[in-house]
A and B are shown apart, each in its own frame.
Chain A
Amino acid sequence: QTVVTQEPSLTVSPGGTVTLTCASSTGAVTSAYYPNWFQQKPGQAPRALIFDTDNKYSWTPARFSGSLLGGKAAMTLSGVQPEDEADYYCLLYYDGGQLWVFGGGTKLTVL
């Protein structure tokens, strides 16, 4: 069974920078996994932030960026704001089975 792993929790100070990562049990994550990133606040539906590794939506704040880092998908928040406190999920595509798998999520605390 394919497992996608994220940091369970991270803490960052307002104005700081933090990088969230997303690893695959099958090996290095590449652009072929079409990494997606989502933000979810309590009681709300997930909101899409990044797709296809580093592509942003029109509504994605400029401080969010996606990349590949050390064999993992990564999302960096630069100049973190208090409103960025949320759960963040990555999503990877596995072509062999034509399925998508979510990571377990990272709870980001801004403190």
Chain B
Amino acid sequence: QVQLQESGPGLVKPSQTLSLTCTVSGGSISSGNYYWSWIRQPAGKGLEWIGRIYTSGNTNYNPSLKSRVTISVVTSKNQFSLRLTSVTAADTAVYYCAGSSVYSNYDRWGQGTLVTVSS
């Protein structure tokens, strides 16, 4: 049973880079056809898809964030990561990592981690 857990700083200063890690347990991050994603949710608002990485290493990003986002996999640590540059207060949100056992679903979610952008 694959489980996901986000980790990273809860506070980031404006203009700096937000970096989060999602640790995958219960399975290998590089095996099979799993897909790994990041999704965020500002307080009191809806969900926003950030992007996805495939076991092949290919990535797809939300066009509204594409210039600032990088998602990558660290196979040796069974982790994947999110890097968001030049953050502003608008990037304050709960960030979720998610895994997909098939292309068309998002069946595994982490519990989420709150990141606040503030000086």
A99-B62, A99-B63, A100-B52 known; A48 and B107 CB under 8 Å? yes
In the complex, chain B residues 1-43 whose Cβ is within 8 Å of any chain A Cβ: 39
In the complex the two chains form, what is the Cα distance from A48 to B39 in whole Å? Answer: 14
Interface size class, chain A: 20 to 34
B46 near A34: Cβ-Cβ < 8 Å: no
Q: Contact check: which of B49, B104, B107 meets A34 at CB < 8 Å?
A: B104
A45-B112, A46-B96 known; A101 and B49 CB under 8 Å? yes
Mask: chain A, 69-111; 1 = CB below 8 Å from B; 0 = not: 0000000000000000000010101000111111111000000
Question: A104: which B residues are within 8 A, CB to CB?
Answer: 46
User: Is the C-beta of A36 less than 8 angstroms from some C-beta in chain B?
Assistant: yes
Q: Contact check: which of A36, A40, A103 meets B106 at CB < 8 Å?
A: A36
Question: B112: which A residues are within 8 A, CB to CB?
Answer: 45
Question: B102: which A residues are within 8 A, CB to CB?
Answer: 51-52
Q: Smallest distance from the beta carbon of A35 to chain B beta carbons, Å?
A: 9
Q: Smallest distance from the beta carbon of A30 to chain B beta carbons, Å?
A: 13
Q: Smallest distance from the beta carbon of A91 to chain B beta carbons, Å?
A: 7
A91 near B49: Cβ-Cβ < 8 Å: yes
A98 near B60: Cβ-Cβ < 8 Å: yes
In the complex the two chains form, what is the Cα distance from A36 to B109 in whole Å? Answer: 14
Question: A102: which B residues are within 8 A, CB to CB?
Answer: 39, 46-49
A51 near B105: Cβ-Cβ < 8 Å: yes
In the complex the two chains form, what is the Cα distance from A36 to B102 in whole Å? Answer: 12
A103 near B104: Cβ-Cβ < 8 Å: no
Q: Can you list 13 A-B contacts with CB-CB less than 8 angstroms, sorted by A residue number? A: A34-B104, A38-B47, A45-B109, A48-B106, A48-B109, A51-B106, A89-B46, A91-B47, A91-B106, A93-B104, A102-B49, A103-B46, A105-B46
A-contacting residues of B (Cβ < 8 Å)? 39, 46-49, 52, 60-64, 96, 102-107, 109-112
The list of the 4 closest CB pairs from A to B, nearest first, reads A51-B105, A34-B104, A102-B47, A52-B104
